[in-house]
Homo-oligomer: A and B are copies of this chain.
């Protein structure tokens, strides 16, 4: 509901690319064509929702490896797999790796469009979530070290008095840091602050 979506088409067969391209454009989607995996990987990150339509059979590397590489690079764009020579283990691997769909050629146009629509919707949601988390995290980084400490201890349920004890400072100083944290985090209430702390803790925590 925000930006115009962009679909990356990765297939070494130019005819297939053109065909997919015109199909996707016919429903109002913008597209980029890539003949190789490198072309996709070297394309600059787009600041809008989108997905990748990825052929499994590519010159050099497999589409499955490309999918894995995207994950490894932290590029979490949804992938719709297509292939002319698919087998079950291949499709299962792709789906396990998070593919939105796995279509075997020839597929019906509508099936691809459905898969792409689903992928874009998924990306849109993920991006919105990421934006929220990034905003909170960004504000958190503007806090001074002490303010960050106080915020974490406070949202963990500690009283100002306890925080003061743990940090070896006076309670009045804790209150000042706490107030600054609330202001900088743009938290109207303490409940907001707790939720922001949880939001930051929910993602990222390298297990």
Q: Is residue A68 contacting chain B, with contact meaning CB distance below 8 A?
A: no
Instruction: Place the interface of chain A in its size category.
Output: 20 to 34
Q: Decide yes or no whether A4 CB sits under 8 A from chain B.
A: no
B89, B192, B198: the one contacting A195 at CB < 8 Å is B198
Residue of B nearest to A188 (CB): B157
Chain B residues with CB under 8 Å of A95's CB are 91-92, 95-96
Q: Which residues of B contact A191 (CB under 8 A)?
A: 154-157, 190, 194
Copies of this chain, how many?
2
Q: Once the chains are docked, how many angstroms separate the CA of A1 from the CA of B13? A: 51
A123 within 8 A of B: no
With contacts A157-B191, A195-B198, A198-B198 taken as known, whether A104 is within 8 angstroms of B89 at the C-beta atoms is: yes
CB distance from A79 to the nearest CB of B (A): 13
Cα–Cα, bound, A86→B91 (Å): 11
Residues of B within 8 A of A42 (CB): none
Known contacts A156-B191, A192-B157: A92-B89 contact under CB 8 Å:
no
In the assembled complex, 17 residue pairs joining A and B whose CB atoms fall closer than 8 Å, in A order, are A86-B88, A87-B88, A88-B91, A88-B102, A89-B104, A92-B102, A95-B95, A95-B96, A96-B101, A154-B191, A157-B190, A157-B192, A191-B194, A194-B194, A194-B195, A195-B198, A198-B198
Residues on A facing B (Cβ under 8 Å): 86-92, 95-96, 101-102, 104, 154-158, 188-192, 194-195, 198
